[in-house]
Amino acid sequence: MKRLLITGANRGLGAVCRTRLQHMADIIRISARKPLDPVQPHEEVVLGDLSDKHAVEDMVRGCDGIVHMGGQSVEAPWEVIRASNIDGMYNLFEAARKHGQPRIIFASSNHAIGYYKQSERIDASVPTRPDSLYGVSKVFGEALARMYYDKFGIETATIRIGSCFPEPQDHRMLSTWLSYDDFIRLIERIFMVPRLGCPIIYGASANQASWWDNQQTAYIGWQPQDSSEQFREALDAQMEVPPADDPRSLYQGGVFTADGIHEAE
């Protein structure tokens, strides 16, 4: 690619992508709400908020691909969720429609299906069961991506990210963990495959305790190589497994299923 946009590049997985996707394009355009330092010679920085339509058009203009990691990443009051994950998603896809229809990677979440039981194994064809306002916003983003593909042909890979950290932080993450290496390998395959379409992909490594089936997206050619099993013994020594009726052991979304509605102050 000539120019790849990474949104939300100042924190979390956006920062990981900024560091590890440098080889994907001649120019890496990074967007954030606050200044980023240091800026490398082959990087462009565009400051702006996803809820600002004109700022998002400036982000997207001239890009061949988008890795959309920006937005609200945890549960929050509706006003916060709406601005970043509803209005922001619409602004992003409208900008993509107007400016070359670049291929998009959308960071969705396991919280779009959080109310499925951990005893169930599911694929991308199951109905969504969001466990939070945050999860609802991700379902909206998935639906928006599908509409823009069917109506305008914009190809988007939706990744329902599990728990992407250097290592699992609790027993639930033994099922949801996605290593940084596997995550980057997935992004590489998404931009490499000749025809993408609009798939939903579960973002998890090759964990023995997996709940998710990616057979429907095998054509992408992504084969995760890491497993959370190497961390099980250490986790067992650090903490007890939650009781079977605890949300952390019962639902795929974990504690999000037990959280209330966050109201604005």
Place of tokens 């020594």: 237
Find the radius of gyration of the CA atoms of the chain.
18
Catalytic center residues: 134
**What tokens does 117 get?**
């039981």
Beta bridge partners of 4: 28, 65
24-27, long-range: CB within 8 Å, 24+ apart, which pairs?
24/65, 24/187, 24/188, 24/191, 25/1, 25/64, 25/65, 26/1, 26/2, 27/2, 27/3
Q: Are 210 and 228 in contact (CB under 8 A)?
A: no
